[in-house]
Amino acid sequence: MTTWEENKRWSDRFLPEIKRILGERFIGEPPCEEDAEHNTDLIVLKLEPLRFGCRVRRNQYVDRYGDEFTIRAGLPSGAKTEITKIIEGWGDYLFYAFCDSAERMLARWTIIDFKAFRVWHSRQLYKGNHPWTERVNADGTSFMVFKCSEIPEAVTATWSKDAS
């Protein structure tokens, strides 16, 4: 069983590519007037800090779980998990990806908008719906599993098919 530190080191190798992908989506070209009058060639689409959670899964899972994203819901230690932090209002987006078979680059990814997710999730619970399944790993960690194809497009801001 790998430790949290080992998993973090493994997934952090994809951070440069994740930053490139997020930069392409959250930094834009302004109108010509901005360049001419305000010395602006690029513009960040939001001025306040944006918080991104990032999760990269191994390629061996893409065929079985490629239409899903998971959010950690329980730990054997009882420590606070992602779902609690999300419900508390933390995090703006989740970058959820699968790497390629060589584990050198990302093959498939989605960006989940947590503001839209919170609204959708709350409405589902209010209606008495349970819009996820639960999965428990061998180490006792539990996850809420959501199917991208079963939630509104406003929640999954971007869904990329295999790039390799």
Question: Residue 33: inside a domain, yes or no?
Answer: no
Q: What pLDDT score was predicted for residue 128?
A: 94
pTM recorded for the entire structure: 0.82
Question: Residue 154: inside a domain, yes or no?
Answer: yes
Question: Residue 148: inside a domain, yes or no?
Answer: yes
Question: Residue 81: inside a domain, yes or no?
Answer: yes
Question: Residue 29: inside a domain, yes or no?
Answer: no
Question: Residue 78: inside a domain, yes or no?
Answer: yes
Please compute the mean of the pLDDT values over residues 15-19 and round it to a whole number: 90
Domain count, the chain: 1
Reported as a single tens digit per residue, the pLDDT across 27-58 is 888 888 887 888 888 877 666 778 899 999 99
Question: Residue 16: inside a domain, yes or no?
Answer: no
Please compute the mean of the pLDDT values over residues 131-152 and round it to a whole number: 92
Q: What pLDDT score was predicted for residue 162?
A: 45
What does the chain look like in DSSP terms, one character per residue?
---HHHHHHHHHTTHHHHHHHHHHHHEEPPPHHHHHHH--S-EES-SS---EEEEEE-GGGHHHHTTEEEEEEE-TT----HHHHHHTT--SEEEEEEE-TTSSSEEEEEEEEHHHHHHHHHHHHHTT----EEEE-TTS-EEEEEEGGGS-TTTEEEEE----
Would the pLDDT of 106 be above 90? yes
Domain span holding position 70: 50-160
Question: Residue 105: inside a domain, yes or no?
Answer: yes
